[in-house]
Amino acid sequence: MDHISSVIKGNKLANNVINVNVNNSSTNVIGDNNVTSRVEKYALDRGSFTPNTPKTKLAEDIAAHFDDTKNYAFYLHVVNRLGESRAYSFFRSIQDEIKEKSGTRYPIVSPKKYFAWRFKRGYR
């Protein structure tokens, strides 16, 4: 068996390569224009899904408030993890903190990042 560097230099694999992806189901090909990005995968798409439960509507309201419907799945995760009433009170407390700090020396520059940081830090 030859060392890999001699195989590559000698181009011995030129005719012996077998295409494993016969059904073209590979989604991680670089330069493929048909690949949906990770951001679009978790975005709210009204064509395929319409929020019709209180939890999904609350998640949609939170995402719309932060103008971040591309990360709808994260806000739905927050609502599912906390429950509807706790998630709503958490959202209201974040809104109040943003309003309180808006005229101070250190305002909240990115409210959606602050929301995610507070949730990951632990809502009490």
Among 81, 83, 64, residue whose Cα is nearest residue 120: 81
DSSP string computed for 25-57: -----TT-TTPPPHHHHTS--TTT----SHHHH
Tokens 């494993």, residue? 20
pLDDT of the residue at 100: 93
Spatial contact of 50 and 19, defined as CB atoms under 8 Å apart: no
CA distance 62 to 73: 11
Question: pLDDT tens for residues 8-45?
Answer: 666 555 555 544 555 555 444 444 444 455 556 656 66
Tell which wins on pLDDT, 35 or 5: 5
pLDDT of the residue at 36: 52
Nearest 5°: phi and psi at 31? 90, 0
Question: pLDDT tens for residues 90-113?
Answer: 999 999 999 999 989 999 999 999
- CA diameter of the chain: 72
pTM score, whole prediction? 0.61
The conformation of residue 13, written as its DSSP 8-state character, comes to: T
